[in-house]
């Protein structure tokens, strides 16, 4: 890529829209905004403010980028699989598995020794076992979502939630609170519930080490610690894990159009 060309990689998720600007071999901007109920408006504003020559879109709502500003070039659509692989490999070249526990879906990708996609699985759309599950329960426990992982690590025992459904899990959690259970133990139980579902997907997809965790839930210290315990390996988390998909979209566009 020559000159001053700037490419925006935009990852449109159900909870947040992430944008990176790639120019002259480096990321020059990272921006994240809530998806809200007007995602097209948010997308247009982000692209206009980025002042870029090209746009590459990925994520759950990537097709919304077709509703771009009139003076913006047509967006290149990049699959979620390709965006995550390209972004993760650029940051952690050794990666052999990629895990993204999203707001509504969990994605696991395994790679060959040469870095090609070997297998992958995207969980069905259900809040149980995803980031939305923790967000919903954090509200019920009156703990900020960004603090829930550390809060759970203060538990004095590990329990399992009997219900796999978010609605029934909330009832179960409130019943535990009413019966005097330590709320931190309940928070740990919620994380263990997500862990169990994540491990099931990891086993089905297969693959080798190391595992790279991307997305917003990669910031959650409890999930990372539980994964490392169960897998008996280090879980790699790149800098700015929320933006890996957006970065991958931009980098994929530079490669395809080189």
Same domain, 67 and 150: no
Number of domains the chain contains: 2
Same domain, 77 and 113: no
Same domain, 49 and 117: no
Same domain, 118 and 220: yes
Same domain, 56 and 120: no
- 86 in any annotated domain: no
- 201 in any annotated domain: yes
Beta bridge partners of 205: none
- 88 in any annotated domain: no
Residues 215-246: tens digit of each pLDDT: 999 999 999 999 999 999 999 999 999 999 99
| Boundaries of domain holding 100 | 93-237
Q: Is the N-terminal amide bond of 223 cis, ω within 30° of 0?
A: no
Say if residues 28 and 21 touch (Cβ distance below 8 Å): yes
- 206 in any annotated domain: yes
Instruction: Give the C-alpha distances (Å, rounded to integers) separating 111 from 29, 33, 95, 205, 255.
Output: 29, 31, 8, 10, 19
Residue 1 reports pLDDT greater than 50: no
- Kindly report whether the global pTM for this prediction surpasses the value 0.75: yes
Quickly state the pLDDT bin for 40 (edges 50, 70, 90). Answer: confident
- 27 in any annotated domain: yes
- 166 in any annotated domain: yes
Q: How far is CA 21 from the centre of its chain?
A: 19
pLDDT of residue 75: 82
């Amino acid at each position: 890529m020559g000159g001053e060309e700037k490419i925006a990689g935009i990852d449109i998720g159900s909870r947040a829209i992430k944008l990176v600007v790639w120019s002259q071999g480096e990321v020059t901007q990272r921006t994240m905004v809530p998806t809200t109920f007007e995602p097209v408006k948010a997308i247009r504003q982000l692209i206009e403010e980025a002042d870029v020559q090209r746009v590459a879109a990925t994520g759950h709502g990537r097709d919304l980028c077709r509703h771009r500003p009139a003076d913006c070039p047509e967006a290149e659509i990049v699959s979620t699989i390709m965006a995550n692989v390209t972004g993760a490999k650029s940051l952690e070249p050794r990666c052999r598995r990629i895990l993204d526990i999203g707001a509504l879906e969990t994605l696991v990708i395994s790679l060959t020794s040469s870095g090609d996609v070997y297998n992958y699985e995207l969980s069905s759309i259900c809040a149980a076992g995803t980031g939305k599950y923790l967000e919903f329960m954090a509200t019920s426990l009156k703990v900020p979502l960004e603090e829930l992982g550390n809060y759970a690590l203060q538990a004095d025992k590990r329990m399992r939630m009997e219900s796999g459904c978010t609605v029934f899990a909330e009832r179960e959690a409130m019943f535990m609170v009413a019966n005097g259970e330590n709320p931190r133990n309940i928070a740990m139980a919620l994380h263990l519930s997500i862990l169990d579902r994540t491990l099931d997907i990891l086993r089905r997809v297969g693959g080798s080490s190391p595992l790279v965790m991307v997305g917003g839930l990669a910031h959650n210290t409890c999930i990372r610690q539980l994964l490392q315990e169960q897998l008996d390996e280090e879980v790699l988390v790149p800098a700015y894990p929320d933006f890996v998909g957006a970065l991958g979209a931009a980098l994929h566009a530079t490669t395809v159009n080189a």
